[in-house]
Amino acid sequence: MWEYLLIFLGAAIPWFEIALVIPFGILSGLNPFIVIVTAFIGNMVTIIPLIIGFEKFKQWRAKRNNQNQAKRENKARTLWNKYGLPGMIMLGPILIGSHIAAFIGMTLGAKKRATLIWSTVSIGAWSLVFGVVTALGFDLFTK
């Protein structure tokens, strides 16, 4: 039981997330299905408050706006224009982390509902990919 709690907590922490905890959990001998579901839920538990609470952050940020922030925002906007919300959120778990991808999307004007839907799809899809590939790869090496 403790191992699955660690999977849940690891998936909830930015930069650990599903890409690390799912293979780790499966390679540790835990049930792949339970690992995938637990990691998915753990990651979503922190993404949902991030999306819902973004408005408060946006108000706080508006009070602190400075030139350096404007430069960073221009770089992020360039990525946004190239990939859009679906591309950024789908690539998030493997490139920058799902939390950061959702945060950038919200910063650049994505709607909460769209961000939540794409985050759920992305985290679910990548959870399955990491879980299945790890389980199949592990079985390949143990046979």
Q: What is the mean pLDDT of residues 83-104?
A: 85
Query: Residue 97 sits in which domain range?
Result: 2-142
Residue 33 has pLDDT above 90, yes or no: yes
Range with the lowest mean pLDDT among 17-21, 76-80, 115-119, 134-138?
76-80
pLDDT of residue 78: 72
Q: Using one digit for the tens of pLDDT, what is the confidence trace for 40-86?
A: 999 999 988 888 888 887 777 666 665 556 665 666 677 678 888 89
92 contacts 101 by C-beta, under 8 angstroms: yes
Q: What is the mean pLDDT of residues 22-33?
A: 92
Number of domains comprising the chain: 1
d(CA 45, CA 135): 24
Give pTM, 2 decimals: 0.72
Q: What is the mean pLDDT of residues 11-40?
A: 90
Counting residues of the chain whose pLDDT is more than 90, the rounded percentage is: 39
d(CA 26, CA 20): 10
Residue 36 has pLDDT above 60, yes or no: yes
93 contacts 126 by C-beta, under 8 angstroms: yes
pLDDT of residue 135: 85
Amino acid of residue 141: F
